[in-house]
Amino acid sequence: MTNISSFCLVFSTLLTIFNPISALKSCEFPAIFNFGDSNSDTGGFVASFPPLNSPYGETYFRMPAGRFSDGRLIIDFVAKSLNLSFLSAYLDSLGTNFTVGANFATASSTITLPARIIPANNGFSPFYFLVQYNQFEQLKARSQLIRKQGGVFARLMPKKEYFQKALYTFDIGQNDLGAGFFGNKSVEEVNASVPNIVNTFLTDVKSIYNSGARSFWIHNTGPIGCLGYILANFPSAEKDSVGCAKSYNEVAQYFNYELKETVLHLRRVFPSAAFTYVDVYSVKYSLFSEPKKHGFELPLVACCGSGGMYNYNSSAGCGATITVNGTQITVGSCDDPSVRVVWDGIHYTDAANKFVFEQISTGAFSDPPIPLKMACHRTVG
């Protein structure tokens, strides 16, 4: 027994030396504060503008739940994995609970101030990143005043210490590229705008750090050229071997390169904080390049939509009421969303979001390669 115990001790020591992450304890995140667009919006957009119609939310919530999907988003799986409840949208005034954080993400949001601020499917949200940061500052200050005042709302606010201990998550940038593409800019012009977009992101993240944030989980942007709203609106774009719009994905990849460089810069400037860059692009692209391997089919075709080879039409979107041969019908979903990648031509299904989360949460697609539950800053000494 002594020899076995000694062997185990030596093996454990060597494992720790060669894989120091194994020696770290899981973080205890008491809250999440999320910033982003429709990829992580849990109700902000619909609290401000017309609500989503069925079949949005049908798979998991059995009703529209403020999410641009048939079910849960990646941020929902993040919260669940940390034993936290789903995040309430900051903009939602009905039944919200901010004890475990808040979600500032709003569909159609951008990092930079968009040229067109039109709250509609064809426009871009007024709640761009700087506004979301300002909302965060409001919550941070006013929540503590409410807690001091006591009463029924006090128990719905996060504790003061949560703001430093929380996980800060980011998934934004896709609409900045989309704003350029749909603003009649060439691919080259959109590409040229990327450094300014990323520099704005850097400025706002620094502000959030200066407000006390220390643990940052930053998603890059996905393969926009694989989504129906790009493929249907830019049919002449050169396709790659998978069928995605090659040059549009290349712009996304350039954005991701600049974003990663920015995260590395933040890490150098703020060494006491934890900045984790998460390669969501690679995981999402694998759903288009190897769908059968992962249990999916027809990856380029929207589950909920109407018309064309991608089942996407901006004037007859998911849940819309349209007239066909004199009869009004609702644009519905496919028979089995659980085997589909794209929900409505722009966003992903519950099943796809679950798959992406399961891949990125391990740390296999992160820099540094640290699992989600260990991606916190650690006090030295």
Q: Which residues are catalytic?
A: 38, 344, 347
The span from the CA of 192 to the CA of 200, in Å, is 14
DSSP for 202-261? HHHHHHHHHTT--EEEEE----GGGSHHHHHH-TTSPB-TTSSBHHHHHHHHHHHHHHHH
3-state secondary structure of 199: helix
User: Which amino acid is present at 149?
Assistant: Q
* Six-digit token string for 332: 């519905």
CA neighbor of 253 nearest in space, from 227, 230, 221:
221
DSSP for 79-97? HHHTT-PPPPBTT--SS--
Continuous H helices in the chain:
2-18, 44-48, 74-81, 129-149, 162-165, 174-181, 187-210, 228-233, 246-269, 280-289, 350-360
* Six-digit token string for 299: 């990856």
CA neighbor of 27 nearest in space, from 193, 192, 165, 198:
165
The span from the CA of 107 to the CA of 38, in Å, is 4
